[in-house]
Amino acid sequence: MEVHAVTLIPELLMAVTEHGVTGRAVRRGLLDVRTWNPRDYTHDAHRTVDDRAYGGGPGMVLKAGPLSAAVAAARAGAPADARVVYLSPQGRPIEQSLLRARSRAAGLILVCGRYEGVDERFIETSVDEEWSLGDYVLSGGELAAMVVIDALARLQPGALGDAGSAEQDSFSGALLDHPHYTRPEVFAARRVPAVLLSGDHAAIARWRRQQALGRTWRRRPELLAGMRLSEADVRLLEEYKRQPGDDNPGAGDSDE
């Protein structure tokens, strides 16, 4: 997949192109990240990309001209199916299902704003979609673009060492992940759950599924509400609810 990023600070993208799972995906040719700098599409001696806001107020606004020219260049250099996405808190909240669908495209163009925002006429004329990671404000769209690139990279076929692990992640089945443990067997007086040391792989799978269901029920009930659980899952969850926990301190106490 080709991801084209329109940004005034292309160096920031090196954090994902040169390190970790995303860096390896780039080196193996599964992901190609290209940057387009609006400053290269200015025509004045100062290479001006921003200006004061009409109507007044503090801070600067990115000019529509250089941004539109940079996006046009990106469109010309990107695969034909590439949508232009502006990353901002005003956008549609994105989730794993959208990223999974878009990870199958040959291309995507991400536009990173800076300062107080971009001229609205740029969004109207040059942007196909506006996406938000959540309800908070960053200093610019680059970190949001890197989040999107990271999530897309690990969805590329073959990007993860263990071929199955993307499917086992949180959210692949719309459930939160189960807890994980590694050595030592005792830390801070807490033992690793005995079932994980049992070698009984069916019992381990059942316990992990139950933990995933239970934690989703406890922490993100709205995710469970939108799911159709199998009868086996319903039984696992009912058993989980009968166990003691912070939310249910009396459950499981047989002498009460």
Taking CB under 6 A as the rule, does residue 77 contact ligand 9WO? Answer: no
CB atoms within 10 A of CB 66: 24
Among 24, 79, 89, 233, the one annotated catalytic: 89
Size of the site for ligand 9WO (CB under 6 A): 15
Could you give the C-alpha distances from 245 to 99, 192, 235, 242, in angstroms and in order?
A: 34, 17, 18, 9
Shortest distance, position 234 Cβ to ligand 9WO, whole Å: 36
Number of H helices, E strands in the chain: 10, 9
Q: What is the DSSP string of 1-48?
A: -EEEEE-S-GGGGHHHHSSHHHHHHHHTTS-EEEEE-GGGG--STT--
CB-nearer residue toward ligand 9WO: 41 or 122? 122
φ/ψ region of 217 (left if φ > 0, alpha if ψ in -120 to 50, else beta) reads alpha
169 catalytic? Reply is yes
**Nearest residue relative to ligand 9WO (C-beta):** 113
Pattern of binders to ligand 9WO over 85-104, x per CB under 6 A?
--xxx---------------
Per CB under 6 A, contacts with ligand 9WO among 104-133 are 113, 116-117, 132-133
Q: Which residue is catalytic, options 169, 200, 238, 239? A: 169
Both ends of the chain: CA-CA distance in Å?
Answer: 59
The interface with ligand 9WO within residues 178-207 (CB under 6 A) comprises none
What does 76-90 look like in DSSP terms, one character per residue?
Answer: HHS-TTPEEEEEEEE
- Comparing CB distances to ligand 9WO, the nearer of 133 and 160 is 133
List of residues 6+ apart from 227 with CB closer than 8 A: 174, 175
Cβ proximity to ligand 9WO, 84 vs 160, nearer residue: 84
45, 76, 80, 137: residue in contact with ligand 9WO (rule CB under 6 A)? 137
- Decide: helix, strand or coil at residue 223: helix
Q: To the nearest whole angstrom, how small is the minimum distance from the Cβ of residue 160 to ligand 9WO?
A: 25
Q: Residue 13's CB: how many other CB atoms inside 10 A? A: 21
Whether 130 and 83 have beta carbons less than 8 Å apart is answered as: no
Select 59 or 249, whichever has its Cβ closest to ligand 9WO.
Answer: 59
Residue 116 catalytic? Answer: yes
Report the residue number, 23 or 89, with the smaller CB distance to ligand 9WO. 89
Q: What are the residues binding ligand 9WO (CB under 6 A)?
A: 59, 87-89, 113, 116-117, 132-134, 137-138, 140-141, 144
Residues that are catalytic: 89, 116, 154, 169
